[in-house]
C-alpha cells in the first residue's frame, strides 16, 4: 500500500528527541527523510548506556527516534556546509530545525531569508521557548521544561518532592505537535500553493499537555497539587496495594462504582453521597482507605478477576520489560524488527501506534549508522 507522505522530502537538521521523533513519524508515513548531523554527530549517539555492544556501538537513545532516515554530517558553520544544505533545499518540501531563533538567524535559516530563497519550502522550528517571549534565547531541554512548566510540581507523592515524568514526555508531545503541524502545512500548500512556518516551543507543548490540570487552575485560580497515582477529579482512580503486588483501578462511572461497592460490602443507601463521583472525591481519604483494606487482603489476580467480570478497568502494575517481552502480542503489536543489511542483523524497534488500513505505520530503514 502506498504511504500517504511518500512523495514528500524532508530535510532534518534537528537533534536529540523532539525533532527526530517528529521526522521519524513522517518517515513512518512514507516521507523521505535526510538527516543532517553536526560533524560530531547527533548528541544522543553518545547518550548511554545502554549501547548496542555494552560500552560501544549505537545508543538506545538515538535508536528510539531515527528509523526511516538516511544520514550524513554537515558543518553549518562553514560556507561549504551551508551551500550543501541550500542545494538539498532546492527540491525539499520541509526543513525541520531546533536551533534557538537567534542561532537560526545567524546561520541564514530564519524564516524570512529561507522563504525568500525557497518560497515553496515549509519550515518547522522546535524551540525551547517561543520566539516572541522574553525567554526566547534560553535553551530548552525536556527536564528543564518539566520544571519550568509546572509538570514537576504536580508529579510525585503528595508529601514528596516534585518529580519529573519517567520519560522525556515534553519532547514527545512537541514532536507530535510538530508532525501534525507539518502535515497540516503540506495540506495547506497543496490547496493554496503557500508555504508556512511552523513553530513548536517545548514550553508551550508542556502547558498544552497540562490539559484538565491547567483548565482547573484557570477556573479556580488555585495551584494544583500532587496526587501521586491518584486522580484529582475522579475517585477511585489510582493504584492500590494487594497482598502480592499493586493493581491500578479506574472507576470511570457511577455504575462501575456501584458494582465495586458490592464487592466492598458497602451500603450505598447509608452513604448516598458516594453514589456520585463528586461525593467520592469529597470523601477521598475515607473511601480509599476502605478499598485498600480490602485489596491488601486480596491477591492481584483476584482483584483483576472481579474487575474483569464487572467491566471495571483495571491492570496489574507491570514493568516495562514484562510489557515488551512477556505481554507482547497480547497487549500490543508494536515491536517491529528492521533488517540492517550492512550488519546482517535485525534491529528491534517500536513502530508507530498508527494503523493505516490495518497496516502498522513503520519505516523500513533502520536508524542510520554514524559515518562521519
Name the residue ranges covered by the structural domains of the chain. 9-210+334-360, 237-317
pTM: 0.93
Give the orientation angle of helix 18-28 with respect to helix 169-192, to 10 degrees. Answer: 50
- What dihedral angle (degrees, nearest 10) is formed by the CA atoms of 217, 223, 227, 233? -30
Distance of CA 138 to the CA centre of its chain: 22
Residues ≥6 apart with Cβ < 8 Å to 210: 149, 150, 151, 154, 217
Residues ≥6 apart with Cβ < 8 Å to 355: 361
CATH superfamily ID and name for 9-210+334-360: Crotonobetainyl-coa:carnitine coa-transferase; domain 1 (3.40.50.10540)
Which residue of the set 75, 105, 171, 321 is catalytic? 171
Instruction: Inform me whether the pLDDT recorded for 94 exceeds 80.
Output: yes
Q: CA angle, corner 208, sides to 204 and 214, nearest 5?
A: 115
**pLDDT by residue (tens digit) across 156-175?**
999 999 999 999 999 999 99
> What is the pLDDT of the chain when averaged over all its residues?
95
Confirm if 198 and 124 have CB atoms less than 8 A apart: yes
Q: Could you tell me the sign of the dihedral formed by the alpha carbons of 137, 143, 147, 150, in that order?
A: positive
pLDDT band with cut points at 50, 70 and 90 for residue 268: very high
Average pLDDT over residues 263-278: 95
| Dist CA 181 CA 247 (whole Å) | 38
Instruction: Inform me whether the pLDDT recorded for 303 exceeds 80.
Output: yes
pLDDT band with cut points at 50, 70 and 90 for residue 2: confident
What is 237-317's CATH topology?
formyl-coa transferase, domain 3 (3.30.1540)
**pLDDT by residue (tens digit) across 312-346?**
999 999 999 999 998 877 899 999 999 999 889 99
| Dist CA 47 CA 42 (whole Å) | 10
| Dist CA 56 CA 38 (whole Å) | 20
**pLDDT by residue (tens digit) across 175-200?**
999 999 999 999 999 999 999 999 99
pLDDT band with cut points at 50, 70 and 90 for residue 139: confident
| Dist CA 203 CA 302 (whole Å) | 43
Is 171 a known active-site residue? yes
Same fold, 9-210+334-360 and 237-317: no
What does the pLDDT read at residue 362? 94
What does the pLDDT read at residue 29? 97
What does the pLDDT read at residue 265? 93
Amino acid at each position: 500500500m502506498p504511504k500517504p507522505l511518500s512523495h514528500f522530502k524532508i530535510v532534518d537538521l534537528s537533534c536529540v528527541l523532539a525533532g527526530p521523533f517528529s521526522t521519524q513519524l513522517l518517515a513512518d508515513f512514507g516521507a523521505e527523510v535526510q538527516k543532517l548531523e553536526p560533524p560530531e554527530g547527533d548528541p544522543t549517539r553518545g547518550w548511554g548506556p545502554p549501547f548496542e555492544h555494552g560500552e560501544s556501538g549505537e545508543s538506545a537513545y538515538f535508536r528510539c527516534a531515527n528509523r526511516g532516515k538516511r544520514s550524513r554530517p554537515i558543518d553549518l558553520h562553514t560556507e561549504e556546509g551551508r551551500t550543501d544544505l541550500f542545494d538539498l533545499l532546492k527540491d525539499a518540501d520541509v526543513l525541520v530545525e531546533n536551533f534557538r531563533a537567534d542561532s537560526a538567524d545567524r546561520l541564514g535559516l530564519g524564516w524570512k531569508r529561507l522563504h525568500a530563497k525557497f518560497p515553496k519550502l515549509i519550515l518547522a522550528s522546535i524551540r525551547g521557548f517561543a520566539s516572541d517571549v522574553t525567554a526566547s534565547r534560553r535553551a530548552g531541554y525536556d527536564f528543564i521544561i518539566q520544571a519550568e512548566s509546572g509538570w514537576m510540581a504536580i508529579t510525585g507523592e503528595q508529601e514528596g518532592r516534585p518529580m519529573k515524568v519517567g520519560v522525556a514526555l515534553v519532547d514527545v508531545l512537541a514532536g507530535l505537535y510538530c508532525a501534525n503541524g507539518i502535515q497540516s502545512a503540506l495540506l495547506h500548500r497543496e490547496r493554496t500553493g503557500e508555504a508556512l512556518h511552523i513553530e513548536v516551543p517545548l514550553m508551550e507543548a508542556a502547558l498544552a499537555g497540562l490539559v484538565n490540570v491547567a483548565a482547573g487552575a484557570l477556573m479556580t485560580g488555585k495551584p494544583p497539587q500532587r496526587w501521586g497515582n491518584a486522580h484529582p477529579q475522579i475517585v477511585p482512580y489510582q493504584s492500590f496495594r494487594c497482598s502480592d503486588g499493586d493493581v491500578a483501578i479506574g472507576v470511570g462511572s457511577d455504575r462501575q462504582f456501584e458494582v465495586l461497592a458490592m464487592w466492598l460490602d458497602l451500603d450505598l443507601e447509608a452513604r448516598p453521597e458516594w453514589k456520585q463521583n463528586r461525593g467520592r472525591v469529597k470523601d477521598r481519604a475515607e473511601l480509599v482507605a476502605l478499598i485498600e483494606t480490602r485489596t491488601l487482603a486480596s491477591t492481584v489476580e483476584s482483584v483483576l478477576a472481579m474487575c474483569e467480570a464487572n467491566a471495571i478497568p483495571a491492570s496489574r502494575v507491570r514493568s516495562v520489560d514484562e510489557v515488551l517481552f512477556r505481554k507482547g502480542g497480547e497487549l500490543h503489536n508494536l515491536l517491529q524488527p528492521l533488517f540492517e543489511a550492512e550488519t546482517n542483523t535485525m534491529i528491534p524497534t517500536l513502530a508507530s501506534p498508527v494503523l493505516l488500513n490495518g497496516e502498522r505505520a513503520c519505516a523500513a530503514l533502520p536508524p542510520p549508522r554514524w559515518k562521519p
